[in-house]
A and B are shown apart, each in its own frame.
Chain A
Amino acid sequence: MSALEAEGLNTFYGKSHILFDVSLKVEEGMITTLLGRNGAGKTTTLRSLVGLTMPRTGSVKIFGEDSSRQPPYRAAKRGVGYVPEGRKIFAHLTVEDNLRVPLERPGPWTIERVFQTFPRLAERRTNKGRQLSGGEQEMLSIARALLLNPKVLILDEPSQGLAPLIVKDVFRMVEQAKADGMSVLLVEQNVRASLEIADYAYVLDHGVMSWSGTAADLVKDEERIQALAGASAEEWSFDDDLSTKEAEAFSHQPSTVA
């Protein structure tokens, strides 16, 4: 059974048709990545899956149970943790209060465990969300989703706007989530990096699913990756903040990240 399964989603913003018959599956215990250029409809797909934007037609199943046109809290109750684009932390609440918001589903993740796993957040527990750096905010956003004790983790561009070293941490967290038994759906601009850790990949183009298959197959398709990555291919070069040596070590041996 798939952890998440969408069939024929058609989603609109007002009169604009955004998604055209989009279907995808997130297999249990695997990392699935959804790729596409800016404005391809990736975020809309995720929002349709969790119910934040209701698709006009099509169905969504969470572990085989129909979840179409249900409010977002239902998806969360069934074990879908969502890390939204732009992190969406509660800027006026403290770190600890941010962590007290999610529904308490039974499971290994507690606020104490979050503080053990992310010592940086423990240090900043009384700071307001807006006082955190981008990386800390991303950690908080992921930790908040983990506190739901999700079976499926959906991440929308978690590396956006982060320094390369922090990006490495974020990808390590995603791999750890898989190791902990979660199914992951990852949306990323960072094409090569996500393909390194993903098992399956989907490519979305102008609201249409244009390619699907194993990540290994997509890696071989250099032309498609070039087209997908476009300007964002540069993200992976790590020129900005890292020394060339560190950057090379990371970009050539991403498997050591885990």
Chain B
Amino acid sequence: MLTLVLFNVTNGLILGMFYVLMALGVSLILNLSNVINFAHGNFLALGGYLTFVLEPYLGYWGALLAGPICVGIIGLIIERTAIRRVYDRDPVYSLLLTFGLAFIIQDLCRTIWGPNGLPLSIPNALNSPLSQQFFFITGYRIFLIAVVIVAVAALFGFLTYTRVGTRIRAGTFDIETVSALGINIGLLRSLNFAVGIFLAGLAGVLAGGQIGLNPNMGDDLLLPAFIAIIVGGVGSLTGTLVGGLVIGVASAVTSIWWPAGSEVIMYILMIVVLLVRPRGIMGEEGVMT
């Protein structure tokens, strides 16, 4: 029984890690630019594929970093050329734009790399399980959790201790005043968008090592990412972090006793949170932008 519980909690944690990376990226972009990025899951897939392409040249470790950076740069270019044009318009424009972008990226991946799954090879050292009993705790899973922890810590460090990060946090509250204080908010939003897409790319690389690559691999993560944001509280990145972990573990633990309910539980959780605390676990009144 203990093994079963541990097995599911581990699965939940892994799932939660992906939710967290996805949701943090979506949340960063939503908070500063008021854009709900429907293409986020497709940037995730693109990150995985780019790593797949770069791996033969840079090795796993080089590609692990280069893949997400490349997709971050692609995100930056798309933001500068397309997404920035809809910032001052009705939110419906950004929804339509990113929705269209999602299809374009997905079909691009399908055209270039084919509709079938591709394996992303990981170093052998990461492949073996820790022990016979805990066969589900592989080196790769521990590595994955460590990478996510480092990435999230780096993100929060960047937002807390650098001036640019402080400006991003200020901008989520009042972008106009940040602009009047001499900050080029166009550049700030671009950089912020690129960071969000980098996180999606990183999630793509890590997911690729776990379940392989396919053009739809990010789709199943997008909705949970939105739920994580709502559960955690729109406007609060710490809330997003908590929300992602909570729904990940909740769905895994539910699957022990009620396998069919493992997905439904997220929605139930969201409804409960919205009823009890409509602004989310850590959301603050008035911070929502």
Measured CB to CB, the residues of A under 8 A from B are 50, 52, 71-73, 75-77, 82, 84, 88, 90-93, 97-98, 100-105, 144-145, 148
**B167 is an interface residue with CB less than 8 A from chain A:** yes
Q: How far apart are B247's CB and chain A's nearest CB, in angstroms?
A: 24
Write the chain A residue with the least CB distance to B179: A72
Q: How far apart are B193's CB and chain A's nearest CB, in angstroms?
A: 18
| Structural contact, B180 and A50, CB atoms closer than 8 A | yes
| Structural contact, A101 and B183, CB atoms closer than 8 A | yes
Write the chain B residue with the least CB distance to A98: B170
Q: Which of chain A's residues have a CB closer than 8 A to the CB of B163?
A: 100-101, 104
Interface of B is mostly: helix
| Structural contact, A84 and B185, CB atoms closer than 8 A | no
Q: How far apart are B40's CB and chain A's nearest CB, in angstroms?
A: 25
| Structural contact, B176 and A102, CB atoms closer than 8 A | no
Partner of A91, one of B179, B181, B286: B286
Partner of B182, one of A88, A98, A148: A148
How distant is the Cα of A161 from the Cα of B186 in the complex, in angstroms? 34
Q: Which of chain B's residues have a CB closer than 8 A to the CB of A102?
A: 181-183
- Looking at B177, B183, B185, which has the most chain A CB atoms within 10 Å of its CB? B177
Write the chain B residue with the least CB distance to A103: B182
| Structural contact, A82 and B180, CB atoms closer than 8 A | yes
Q: Which of chain A's residues have a CB closer than 8 A to the CB of B178?
A: 101
Task: Given A88-B174, A90-B174, verify A97-B166 contact (CB < 8 Å).
Answer: yes
| Structural contact, A92 and B181, CB atoms closer than 8 A | no
Measured CB to CB, the residues of B under 8 A from A are 163, 166-167, 169-170, 173-174, 176-186, 284, 286-287
Listed A/B pairs (26) with beta-carbon separation below 8 Å: A52-B176, A52-B179, A71-B179, A71-B184, A72-B179, A73-B180, A73-B181, A73-B185, A76-B179, A76-B183, A77-B182, A82-B181, A88-B174, A90-B169, A90-B170, A91-B173, A91-B286, A92-B287, A97-B166, A97-B169, A97-B170, A100-B163, A100-B166, A102-B183, A104-B163, A145-B181
Task: Given A92-B287, A100-B163, A100-B166, verify A105-B174 contact (CB < 8 Å).
Answer: no
Task: Given A91-B286, A101-B166, verify A76-B182 contact (CB < 8 Å).
Answer: yes
How distant is the Cα of A103 from the Cα of B68 in the complex, in angstroms? 30
Q: How far apart are B235's CB and chain A's nearest CB, in angstroms?
A: 9
Besides A91-B286, A101-B167, A102-B183, 12 more A-B contacts (Cβ < 8 Å) are: A71-B185, A73-B183, A76-B179, A76-B180, A77-B182, A82-B181, A84-B180, A90-B177, A91-B173, A92-B284, A101-B163, A148-B181
How distant is the Cα of A215 from the Cα of B245 in the complex, in angstroms? 63
| Structural contact, B169 and A93, CB atoms closer than 8 A | yes
Q: How far apart are B158's CB and chain A's nearest CB, in angstroms?
A: 13
How distant is the Cα of A104 from the Cα of B287 in the complex, in angstroms? 26
Q: Which of chain A's residues have a CB closer than 8 A to the CB of B173?
A: 90-93
Task: Given A91-B286, A100-B163, verify A52-B170 contact (CB < 8 Å).
Answer: no
| Structural contact, A103 and B181, CB atoms closer than 8 A | yes
| Structural contact, B177 and A73, CB atoms closer than 8 A | no
| Structural contact, A93 and B179, CB atoms closer than 8 A | no
Q: Which of chain B's residues have a CB closer than 8 A to the CB of A76?
A: 179-183
How distant is the Cα of A71 from the Cα of B174 in the complex, in angstroms? 16
| Structural contact, B170 and A73, CB atoms closer than 8 A | no
Q: Which of chain B's residues have a CB closer than 8 A to the CB of A93?
A: 166, 169-170, 173
How distant is the Cα of A93 from the Cα of B172 in the complex, in angstroms? 11
Q: How far apart are A167's CB and chain B's nearest CB, in angstroms?
A: 23
| Structural contact, B174 and A73, CB atoms closer than 8 A | no
Q: How far apart are A76's CB and chain B's nearest CB, in angstroms?
A: 3
How distant is the Cα of A148 from the Cα of B170 in the complex, in angstroms? 16
How distant is the Cα of A22 from the Cα of B181 in the complex, in angstroms? 24
Q: How far apart are B245's CB and chain A's nearest CB, in angstroms?
A: 22
How distant is the Cα of A75 from the Cα of B180 in the complex, in angstroms? 8
How distant is the Cα of A72 from the Cα of B182 in the complex, in angstroms? 7
How distant is the Cα of A101 from the Cα of B165 in the complex, in angstroms? 9
Q: Which of chain A's residues have a CB closer than 8 A to the CB of B177?
A: 84, 88, 90
- Looking at B170, B177, B181, B185, which has the most chain A CB atoms within 10 Å of its CB? B181
How distant is the Cα of A82 from the Cα of B183 in the complex, in angstroms? 13
Q: How far apart are B232's CB and chain A's nearest CB, in angstroms?
A: 15
